[in-house]
Amino acid sequence: MSLQTIKMAFLANFSKVKVSRIIAPASHRGKSVQQLKAKQKPIRAYSSDVKVLEVKNCVKTTNTEIKCGIDRKLFTPGPVMVSDRVKRAMLHDVGTRHADFTYVIKFIRQALLQVANVTSDSHTAVLLNGSGTMATEAMLQTVIPRKDKKMLVMVNGIYGQRIGQLCNKLNINCDVISHDLTLLEQRLSSADDIIGVMAVQCETSSGMINPVEEIGSVVKGISPDCLYFVDAVTSFGAIPVRMTNIDFLISCANKSLQSVPGISFVVADKETLQKHRGKGSGMVLDVADQCDELDRTGQFRFTPPTHAMLAFKEALLEHIKEGRVEGRAKRFRDNASTLKSEMTKMGFRQLIDDEKNPNGYFVTSFVHPINPLFVFEEFYQRLSDRGHVICPDRSNLPNSFRIGCMGDLYPRDMQNLVDCIEVVCSDMGINLPMDNRPL
């Protein structure tokens, strides 16, 4: 049946037809009907109740398209792999001021408070566009003054360092200190100009989990009025956290909550947010103003990421179905256990022992083998060519590489990865198990 016949049948029944979606592959967009005729499968025209009219692509995928990273398994700390359910949610359009979208916003805000184990009586979830880093900048510029007072940032990796860089960019006085509780006690006890302390719960550059609750106890025990910020960008949703001493917890959708990029948020103590607002000079990054608008109208102040919000709602429903924080943590822990056990059998050595990092089930760092045949760039590319993407070499820790256990991954995926690593090592001429002596 020709395309012209299909078109005529479709138009003749237009008043009776309900079309949900017309799908045209990217490779067909911009091409004429004549160019496409020879490359389309026959499709049926329905006289009534047409649900989907789909033009299917019969063109073979080129090598270039294969190497774009599509449909590879991502063993990274984020953005992570998401389920088909979450991706399908983005196939719909929704008006930003429509009641349906207002409900989505309300549902997400309430669900985030449940993940944080707090209620709307004392806390609020403020949704923002952008990445977790953007939310960190927004939160700092909203409540931290540029003069007189000082921030303490606890650092043992790239993401702690980045917070220090943000403070410098915002002209906020900032001191960077190591993750040493005794040192923190000394600094807080000897200074009266410290307005805030910030720590990263999961330092993703190494996989180290920092004791944010113990840090909070020290901060509030010595200086109750000192603001305490926690960067839980990677970990929120898969590790329990008590908000008792935390004023502002910052995270995003595309890590442990397994949604797509584009949304960040702050779980904030209501009273503290209102008390310290007004320190910033910007408008878009004002978390307090965004909170006011969400509370007053149920809407964002500026254009929200509607499709990402639809996906986020589905991701939170998945989180609930899996068993919330405990269920998500169990799967990540099982993933990490499979990975670590099999990598140890091959002779790979962890950078941080499990005894020092018992909750390090988000990302695991491995030391580069001593074997001169092991070249990480080649190792990475060979895994990618076989459909497995691990973290690229961008850590602040030399001679090590990272593998993420997060996202829509299961122990069987981890097993497939380590099986592939074994094959790649063989292809590189590396005999297993390797000599795992320390460097």
pLDDT digits (tens, 9 = 90+) for 272-301: 999 999 998 889 999 999 999 999 999 999
Q: How far is CA 244 from the centre of its chain?
A: 24
* Class of 92-322 in CATH: alpha beta
CATH 3.90.1150.10 boundaries in the chain: 74-79+324-427
DSSP state, residue 342 = H
Amino acid at position 58, single letter: C
Average pLDDT over the chain, rounded to an integer: 86
Residue with tokens 């948020």: 265
What are the pLDDT digits (tens) for 3-49? Answer: 455 444 434 443 333 333 333 334 444 444 344 343 333 323 323 33
Report helix, strand or coil for 412.
Answer: helix
Q: pLDDT tens, position by position, for the chain (439 residues)?
A: 554 554 444 344 433 333 333 333 344 444 443 443 433 333 233 233 333 333 333 333 334 344 554 689 999 998 999 999 999 999 999 999 999 999 999 999 999 999 999 999 999 999 999 999 999 999 999 999 988 889 999 999 999 999 999 999 999 999 999 999 999 999 999 988 999 999 999 999 999 999 999 999 999 999 999 999 999 999 999 999 999 999 999 999 999 999 999 999 999 999 999 999 999 888 999 999 999 999 999 999 999 999 999 999 999 999 999 999 999 999 999 999 999 999 999 999 999 999 999 999 999 999 999 999 999 999 999 999 999 999 987 666 789 999 999 999 999 999 999 999 999 999 999 999 987 554 4
Q: Which of 162, 225, 163, 228 is nearest to 197 (CA)?
A: 228
* Top-level class of domain 74-79+324-427: alpha beta
Q: C-alpha distances in angstroms, 247 versus 26, 175, 405?
A: 46, 20, 29
Q: Where in the chain is the domain with CATH 3.40.640.10?
A: 92-322
pTM of the model: 0.83
Give 173's strand partners. Answer: 150
